[in-house]
Amino acid sequence: MKNNKAVVPIISSKDTIKYKTQNQIFNLNRNNLLLTQTPQAFRFKELYKITKNQKNKVTDEATLFINNDFKIKFIPGEKANNKITYIDDIKTPKTFYGIGFDIHKLVENKKLYLGGVKIPFHSGLEGHSDGDVILHAIIDSILGAIRKKDIGTYFPNTKQFKNIRSPKMLKPIMINLNKSNFFINNLDINLICQKPRVSKYRDKIIKSVSKLTGINENQINLKGKTVEKLGLIGKEKAIACETIISITKYD
């Protein structure tokens, strides 16, 4: 402002803008379009003078300066500088976090499912369902983030759900989630087991979880945690899993 009467930030337009007259619509060349931002700075004396004589409504002070052939110094604006005009401009999506945990006993003569993937192993996870600790922990973390109680509320140990496959449990939860305008940003999984080696099945499990949840593979992380052969997990008698999920709600 030391050397100028008016300083206005501008950015290029990412939208192609049309110009409407009474009964015709014209295309404007996007390369020539400049979006003026706020705040805009003016010398008070000039601004006061031209505003005082102004009869028509204008949408910014820069318009007045241009209409009066006053020189404006344009400087680069910032795309992140969002202008607040309407109530929608200050509505920001809300993000919620949910935590999930599950553990099942390993027993012989049962198939092992982790994240919906069948994994060759000496034992499988015991449970009312297929005992998929990863999918169960994911379900609980989703329910936690949207504050809808826990997995047992929707899938109690009743005859109806005996031997249910876990992808079947996840499906209605995902359908409900997507209906309510929730969007999953990030899913982090800790699989806690002595064996099998997580690194061997990581890609397969992530692919499967991605398919079952609709989350992009690059938004899912799977970490393997052995327990130094300690306790029941260390002796390959159980497998546990914990997950944290980040979910954004758009109104």
Query: What are the residues binding Zn ion (CB under 5 A)?
Result: 102, 136
The helix/strand/coil state of 162 is: coil
What is d(CA 99, CA 169) in angstroms, rounded to the nearest whole number?
18
Of 85 and 157, which has the nearer Cβ to Zn ion? 157
* Shortest distance in whole angstroms from residue 200 CB to Zn ion: 23
Angle between helices 198-213 and 166-179 (to 10 degrees): 50
Of 136 and 202, which has the nearer Cβ to Zn ion? 136
Of 64 and 192, which has the nearer Cβ to Zn ion? 192
Of 61 and 102, which has the nearer Cβ to Zn ion? 102
Peptide bond into 93 cis (omega under 30): no
Of 46 and 126, which has the nearer Cβ to Zn ion? 126
User: In a 10 Å sphere around its CB, with 0-12 CB exposed, 13-18 middle and 19+ buried, how is residue 63 labelled?
Assistant: middle
Of 9 and 100, which has the nearer Cβ to Zn ion? 100
* Shortest distance in whole angstroms from residue 164 CB to Zn ion: 11
What is d(CA 241, CA 132) in angstroms, rounded to the nearest whole number?
9
* Shortest distance in whole angstroms from residue 141 CB to Zn ion: 13
The residue sitting closest to Zn ion, measured at its beta carbon, is 136
Q: Where are the beta strands (DSSP E) in 117-181?
A: 117-119, 124-125
Asked if 209 and 169 touch (Cβ cutoff 8 Å), the reply is no
Q: How many residues does the chain have?
A: 251
Q: How far is CA 231 from CA 104, 133, 194, 196, 225, in A?
A: 14, 18, 10, 16, 14
Of 65 and 155, which has the nearer Cβ to Zn ion? 155
* Shortest distance in whole angstroms from residue 139 CB to Zn ion: 9
* Shortest distance in whole angstroms from residue 177 CB to Zn ion: 19
* Shortest distance in whole angstroms from residue 27 CB to Zn ion: 59
What is d(CA 97, CA 251) in angstroms, rounded to the nearest whole number?
17
Give 181's DSSP letter: T
* Shortest distance in whole angstroms from residue 166 CB to Zn ion: 8
What is d(CA 132, CA 239) in angstroms, rounded to the nearest whole number?
9
